[in-house]
Structure 1
Amino acid sequence: MKKIVTAIILGIVFIAQAQGQQKIEPYKEYKNRAESFYELVYGLYYLPKYNLFSEYYPNTNQPNLNYFNDGEKAAKEVSFLWPFSGMTSAVNILYKIDKKKYNTSLKNLIEAQKQYRDTIRKPIGYQAYPTRLEKSDRYYDDNGLVGIDYIEAYSNTKQKSYLKDAKEVFEFIISGWNSDLEGGVTWLEGIYDQKPACSNGKATVLALKIYEQTKDKYYLDWGLKFYNWMHSHLKAEENIYWNDMKTADRSVLKTAWTYNTGTMLQAAVSLYKITGNKMYLNEAQSLAEGSYLYFGKKQTDGRISILDNPWFTVVLFRGYQDLYAVDQNSKYINTIIKNIDFAWANARDDKGLLYSDWNAEKDESKTPKWLLNQAAVIELYARIALIKKQNT
């Protein structure tokens, strides 16, 4: 009888262990993808001479870049700030998976990112290209990204210098606030033609993240100022956010990008957590559904695909992830998870880099791959790994 009981107990233990292994397997799979893809991207894009990254791989015959105020620019020997920040953002999430493994990587990236810090013009801010290579414009949206990198690094490590860095960046951003259109900041320093969602949305998130770490009401007040300005000037009835408002005639550019809705979704969740006011939770849920309906397109295999630039989509995922942590509605995160998994299986070149079109509707096997799009994949898989870990 004892042998039978022992066998039954061992059988139960074996089944429990097997079930436990099955539960943890998705976490390991996504963790491995995030980590292996980081190693791949770092190996292909890193430029030891500069301790920076190239804008594209391969770093020859690079396409022109069109994300500047003054028109297209040729890609240069190192990347501009925006793609570099994408790598810092990705490693901030990898750090949450394995602090010991990524502590040095995070420290090195933040140190390298300081190459874009301009101390000549006041207030101190980050310019689009490394200061030792040339003088360039200082964009408020770029600075928002950098500030978020720093406050995330502070949240991860509690290193006080990172909090100081985040606050410094925020002061640069609010130096651009003026009374045109009742407030808000422009796209870049010294140019006053528009007040865009990209600059003001990122400033909202940055202010609220600093408040969450410090409980300094100064940042909550600023976060609410930015949030309320965005809500009253650029919110669309479709429950998404438009691109910008022109200062000359108050006309709104009704172009929508996923990341502008994503930042405001993050902000709404933050304000709900800070205040407990369900108005903000309802707003976050409305933005999640609005973005799903506006950007989602049904594919032939039944997937709903969020059609946008990969990094833009990942910023939307940040908002979806924050909302999921509050209301446990997995509809939105699962939509993007299905799409990145489809791309992983169907939209990679011979190096293993992902296409910009995750639906693989055209052959990009020979197309140079933009650093920012690859950094987005690292971040997304790391975020998915964290979700899967929490669900085990």
Structure 2
Amino acid sequence: MSAAARAAASYQALQKYLAVGDGSGLYHERYPVVSGDNAYSYEWPFSQAHTATLDLTGMPGQQGEGYLPDLAARAVGQQRYWKASGGTTGKPGYASYPVPPYGGGGDFFYDDNEWVGLLDVQRYLMHGDREALARAEQIFQLVVSGWDSDTAHADPGGVFWTQATWSQDRNTVSNMPGAELGLRLHQITGQATYLDWARRMYDWTNRYLLSPDALYWDHVNLTGTVETTFWTYNQGVPVGVNTLLYQITGDREYLDRAQRIAGAAHSYFVTGGRLLGQPPYFNSIYFKNLLLLESVAGGHAYRDAMAEYGDTVWNRFRDSSTGLFRFEGSAQTETLQQAAMVQIYAVLAWPPADHRHLY
């Protein structure tokens, strides 16, 4: 079965089993729904279903065009999380749960907002959507407001992970995607402030969270204790950031860094047999950034690895009776997991030259 056919079948299952049929345009967190589950998913899973729909529109010809009405519907659903009155820094953004009348809202997570900003940029690059671009610029202002300005903290600086009071971590995933968003906005608008902030986030992450193995650790807290777990998406996004910095500056060192990180991550996760132990929604982000690198540097090794991963998941973790993916023997499917696999198959169906639009 072709990648496009797999994407279509996986999306059909997403809509059949995980979309909420109450007119809200939202999703369940998982299927089957069990007692005690929230009525709707959190914003992070929704954003990945939104991104999956956007990726489907990039498939060639009428295949992709047929998903444009669904993309419009995702934009409506996305706004169920928008909190115009702002969070703790006074900037508007997407709450972690739908706002009234669908829910009580929730804390702002900077990484959640960055993923929406990046999909908005991708939407602009693919479809010329200026409203999406304007929203991406708003989101970047929120991200900047999350910078740790207290120089008394250990490893001062960095964008916090969340505005929630129970965490004061600064993460690779709250800084590198912010840098990637800033670089994309700089490419589009030419505004120097986006590049300046992107470099600031990039430099901080490299200083405090880059391991000697050329892989990125997860986060550091305010006492300077580093969580040293390696996740695939924390390697993929820095690959994308360095690729964009190379495009902007022409400095070959950035491309060399992108290739060095990509090679180290491939050795650790793919050759090292750890890839299937990573969540599919981390792997989708990881691979898409590697495709961005290959769109600039050439080659197809990472696309081949992505295709092999897609084959393995299809054959080992897909329930053919429903079209849903169930990982590690779970009796449930998460919206996050299903949406990630739609992304992977949809992007594999793109012409490789179009991978330059990813993130």
> TM-score w.r.t. structure 1 length?
0.82
- Check conservation: 2:57, 2:64, Cα contact below 8 A: yes
Q: d(CA) in 1 for partners of 2:104 and 2:201?
A: 32
Q: d(CA) in 2 for partners of 1:298 and 1:241?
A: 17
Among 72, 75, 81, the alignment partner of 1:116 is 81
Q: 1:94 corresponds to which residue?
A: 56
Q: d(CA) in 1 for partners of 2:156 and 2:316?
A: 47
- Check conservation: 2:25, 2:76, Cα contact below 8 A: no
Q: 1:277 corresponds to which residue?
A: 251
Q: 1:289 corresponds to which residue?
A: 263
- Check conservation: 1:292, 1:306, Cα contact below 8 A: no
Residue 126 (str. 1) matches residue 90 (str. 2): no
Q: d(CA) in 2 for partners of 1:387 and 1:264?
A: 23
Structure 1 position 355, deviation (Å): 2.5
Q: Would the alpha carbon gap of residues 263 and 42 (structure 1) be closer, same or farther in structure 2, given more than 3 Å must change?
A: same
Q: d(CA) in 1 for partners of 2:217 and 2:148?
A: 20
Among 174, 184, 196, the alignment partner of 2:158 is 184
Judge which range, 264-273 or 333-342, deviates more: 333-342
1:58-107 deviations in Å (ceiling 9; x for gaps): 1225xxxxxxxxxxxx6311100000000111112111124531222112
Structure 1 position 141, deviation (Å): 0.8
- Check conservation: 2:83, 2:99, Cα contact below 8 A: yes
Residue 171 (str. 1) matches residue 141 (str. 2): yes
Spell out the pairing of 1:48-197 with structure 2 (5 A cutoff).
48-49=21-22, 50-61=24-35, 75-97=37-59, 98-121=63-86, 122-132=90-100, 133-180=103-150, 181-189=155-163, 191=165, 193-197=168-172
In terms of Rg, which structure is larger? 1
The one-letter amino acid paired with 2:315 is A
Q: 1:209 corresponds to which residue?
A: 184
1:9-40 deviations in Å (ceiling 9; x for gaps): xxxxxxxxxxxxxxxxxxx8111111222122
Task: Determine which structure has greater relative contact order: mean sequence separation of CA pairs < 8 Å that are 6+ residues apart, divided by chain length.
Answer: 2
Q: 1:351 corresponds to which residue?
A: 322
Q: Would the alpha carbon gap of residues 277 and 75 (structure 1) be closer, same or farther in structure 2, given more than 3 Å must change?
A: farther
Q: 1:370 corresponds to which residue?
A: 334
- Check conservation: 1:196, 1:243, Cα contact below 8 A: yes
Structure 1 position 297, deviation (Å): 5.2
Q: 1:19 corresponds to which residue?
A: none
Structure 1 position 346, deviation (Å): 2.3
The one-letter amino acid paired with 1:326 is V
The one-letter amino acid paired with 1:31 is A
Fraction of identical pairs, as percent: 28
> Gapped runs of 5+ residues in structure 2?
none
Q: d(CA) in 1 for partners of 2:272 and 2:156?
A: 40
User: Across the two proteins, how many residue pairs are aligned to each other?
Assistant: 340
Structure 1 position 265, deviation (Å): 0.9
> Gapped runs of 5+ residues in structure 1?
1-27, 62-73, 358-362
Q: 1:198 corresponds to which residue?
A: 173
The one-letter amino acid paired with 1:384 is L
- Check conservation: 2:45, 2:336, Cα contact below 8 A: yes
SS at structure 2 position matched to 1:380: helix
Q: d(CA) in 1 for partners of 2:28 and 2:97?
A: 12
Q: d(CA) in 1 for partners of 2:326 and 2:124?
A: 32
RMSD between aligned residues: 2.0
Structure 1 position 193, deviation (Å): 2.5
Q: 1:252 corresponds to which residue?
A: 226
Judge which range, 332-341 or 198-207, deviates more: 332-341
Q: 1:238 corresponds to which residue?
A: 213
Q: d(CA) in 2 for partners of 1:270 and 1:307?
A: 29
